[in-house]
Copies of this chain bind each other. A is one copy, B any other.
Amino acid sequence: MATIDDVAKAAGVSTSTVSYVLSGKRPISGPTRARVEKAIRDLGYRPHAGARALASSRTNVIALVAPLRVAVNVNVIMEFVTGVVTAARNHNYDVLLLTQEDATGIDRVSSGSMVDAIIAMDIEEDDPRIPLLKAARQPAVLIGLPRDNAGLSCVDLDFFGAGAATIRHLAHLGHTRIGMLGAPTAVWQRHTSFWDRTLSGAHYEATSKGVTFTAIPCEASEVGAHQSVTELLRKAPDITGLVVHNEAALPHVVAALRDTGRAIPEDISVVAICPQHLATSQPQPLTSVTIPATAIGKVAVDMAMQRLSDPEQPAETRLLAAELTQRATTATLHSAAENTSGDTASIGLM
């Protein structure tokens, strides 16, 4: 492997000149720069990452802490990861992948100076990683919103707004009895931050709009989806609107509703909170609030880069606005009443 000295020799300049050509931190005359660049090309020279990291205290690597268990939401996670990796490359950064499960990971890569910044996803309200991230010498960006985020940058979809938007949309269409199928019980109990916030937003909007609102958990499997639909319809048999915030269960929920003889959107309107491709790839495109996973990943990287370039930069929290797109699965209660018994309509007036 050619070293920087080999290049310098070949170009007839000092090693520092080569370094400055590479980094652009000092002006180099045209002819000199050309000679150096030729030598680099001829020798196929590539700076040694370790040497560079040692001398400059920059690794050009960021750590990404991701939940790699076979999770309910692999699709969403994958999209986050893709967004992060792609954005990182645009800043000339590579990504070191850590699993949530490897508790020592954060400390290891941080105090070992393996990375310049850390991005952690799937953050819970009281996430055990928070103290580690605060203690790290490198800036950290969380994808999610923990209870205590002092000194840490956070990005996420405005899930409170997302929850509210779904209710507002359904209420606007005339629905007054609304149900919600959410995360699996485990996520619910873990107080994963996104889920708590969706629920609050929905509750808040339901209260202020005066509509009844019933939310229950939903497992990710086909069987679980059927059970949850059954239970929800038992608890609140008169609902005409349903919010589903569970990517994995989505298709099964739709199927289960049909199995009960309910037509979508004639008998029941359905709005999802999920990545866009999931909403549009269904046989009947779903009205949905998009989870812009790729965009969030990109913002996370950008925030990390910002804090690297200006260490004085204070931590900030950025919540991306929720946008609801109406597709084929929601309709006004009025038009629904045309195709169904008067019961539903009268209930709507209660």
Residue interface bits A119-144, CB-to-B below 8 A is 1, else 0:
00000000000000000010000000
Contacting B at CB under 8 A, from A53-98, are 53-54, 59, 61, 64, 68-70, 74-75, 77-79, 81-82, 85-86, 89, 94-98
Q: How many residues of A contact B (CB 8 A)?
A: 51
- Stoichiometry, as copies per complex, reads 2
Pick out which of these stretches binds chain B: A43-51, A148-156, A158-166, A304-312. Answer: A43-51
A221 located at the interface, meaning its Cβ lies under 8 Å from any Cβ of chain B in the complex: yes
Q: Which of B49, B79, B97, B137 contacts A113 (CB 8 A)?
A: B49
With A54-B54, A102-B89 as contacts: A68 and B46 at CB distance below 8 Å:
no
Q: Which of B48, B59, B99 contacts A54 (CB 8 A)?
A: B48
Docked CA distance A52–B97 (Å): 20
With A99-B86, A111-B1, A137-B1 as contacts: A54 and B64 at CB distance below 8 Å:
no
A185 to chain B, nearest CB (A): 17
| 10 CB-based A-B contacts, threshold 8 Å | A44-B111, A49-B50, A49-B112, A70-B82, A77-B78, A94-B96, A94-B97, A94-B105, A95-B96, A96-B97
**Chain B residue at minimal CB-CB distance from A71:** B78
Docked CA distance A274–B74 (Å): 16
Pick out which of these stretches binds chain B: A31-39, A204-212, A277-285, A322-330. Answer: A277-285
With A82-B69, A222-B251 as contacts: A94 and B109 at CB distance below 8 Å:
yes
**Chain B residue at minimal CB-CB distance from A46:** B111
Interface residues of A (CB under 8 A from B): 1, 44, 46-54, 59, 61, 64, 68-70, 74-75, 77-79, 81-82, 85-86, 89, 94-99, 102, 105, 108-109, 111-114, 137, 221-223, 251, 255, 277, 281-283
Most buried by B among A69, A79, A85: A85
In the complex, given contacts A49-B50, A50-B51, A97-B97, what are 20 additional A-B residue pairs having Cβ atoms less than 8 angstroms apart? A48-B113, A49-B53, A49-B112, A50-B52, A50-B53, A61-B114, A68-B81, A68-B85, A70-B78, A74-B78, A77-B78, A81-B97, A82-B99, A85-B97, A86-B99, A89-B102, A94-B98, A94-B108, A95-B97, A223-B283
| A89 partner residues in chain B, CB cutoff 8 A | 99, 102
A113 and B82: CB pair below 8 A? Answer: no
A172 to chain B, nearest CB (A): 29
A70 and B79: CB pair below 8 A? Answer: yes
| A77 partner residues in chain B, CB cutoff 8 A | 78
